[in-house]
Amino acid sequence: GQNIDQPTEMTATEGAIVQINCTYQTSGFNGLFWYQQHAGEAPTFLSYNVLDGLEEKGRFSSFLSRSKGYSYLLLKELQMKDSASYLCAVLDSNYQLIWGAGTKLIIKP
Amino acid sequence: DVKVTQSSRYLVKRTGEKVFLECVQDMDHENMFWYRQDPGLGLRLIYFSYDVKMKEKGDIPEGYSVSREKKERFSLILESASTNQTSMYLCASTLKVGTFSEQYFGPGTRLTVT
A-chain CB neighbours of B25 within 8 Å are none
SS3 A40: coil
For the stretch B25-77, pLDDT in tens is 998 899 999 999 998 888 999 999 999 999 999 999 999 999 999 999 999 99
Largest alpha-carbon pair distance within chain A?
43
Candidates A86, A97, A103, A104, partner chain B, best to mutate (most B CBs within 10 A): A97
For residues B58 and B45, the answer to whether their CB atoms sit within 8 Å is: yes
Average pLDDT, rounded, for chain A: 95
- Tell me whether residues A42 and B105 touch, CB distance under 8 A: yes
For residues B44 and B36, the answer to whether their CB atoms sit within 8 Å is: yes
Q: How far is A102 from chain B (nearest CA, A)?
A: 6
Q: Of the candidates A31, A42, A87, which has its C-beta nearest B108's C-beta? A: A42
Residue A74: in which H helix or E strand, if any?
strand A70-75
Q: Which of A93, A100, A75 is closest to A23 using CA atoms?
A: A100
For the stretch A38-80, pLDDT in tens is 998 899 999 999 999 999 999 999 999 999 999 999 999 999 9
B-chain CB neighbours of A33 within 8 Å are 102
Q: Which of A42, A47, A95 is closest to B4 using CA atoms?
A: A42
